[in-house]
Amino acid sequence: MALIAEERKQVRAQVQRNASDTGSTQVQVAMLTARIKEVATHLQSHAKDNHSRRGLLMMVGRRNRLLKYLARTDTAGYTNLIQTLGLRK
C-alpha cells in the first residue's frame, strides 16, 4: 500500500516550488492525497480492514490540518493547490 519511489517523484513534481523542495506544506498535502486515494481503493475491496480505515481517517485529519494552516498563511498557494489536486468543488 505504500507509494513507490517513482510515484512519489511524480506527485512531488506537480507541486514543488524548486528542485529540492521535499517537505513544504504543499508537497506534504500532495503526498497525503496520493496515499489517501490508494488506501481508499484498498478499502473498497477489503471493507472489514478496520486498521487501514483508522489510518485513512488519521491521514485525512492530518491533511485537513495542513490545509487549514496553508489557507491561513498562504491563500494563493492554498487555492492553487486545491485546484491542482482537485480536492474541493
What pLDDT, in 10s, does the model give residues 68-78? 999 999 999 99
What confidence tens digit (pLDDT) does each residue in 23-79 have? 999 999 999 999 999 999 999 999 999 999 999 999 999 999 999 999 999 999 999
What are the residues whose beta carbons fall under 8 Å from the beta carbon of 67, sequence distance 6 or more?
A: 29, 78, 81, 82, 87
Superfamily classification of domain 24-85: S15/NS1, RNA-binding (1.10.287.10)
User: In angstroms, rounded to a whole number, what is the distance separating the alpha carbons of residues 87 and 71?
Assistant: 14
Q: How large is the average pLDDT for residues 1-10?
A: 85
Taking phi over 0 as left and psi of -120 to 50 as alpha, with beta for the rest, 86 belongs to: left
**Per-residue model confidence (pLDDT) at position 52:** 96
pLDDT recorded at residue 13: 92
- Could you give the CA distance from residue 68 to residue 62 in angstroms, rounded to a whole number? 10
pTM beyond 0.85, yes or no: yes
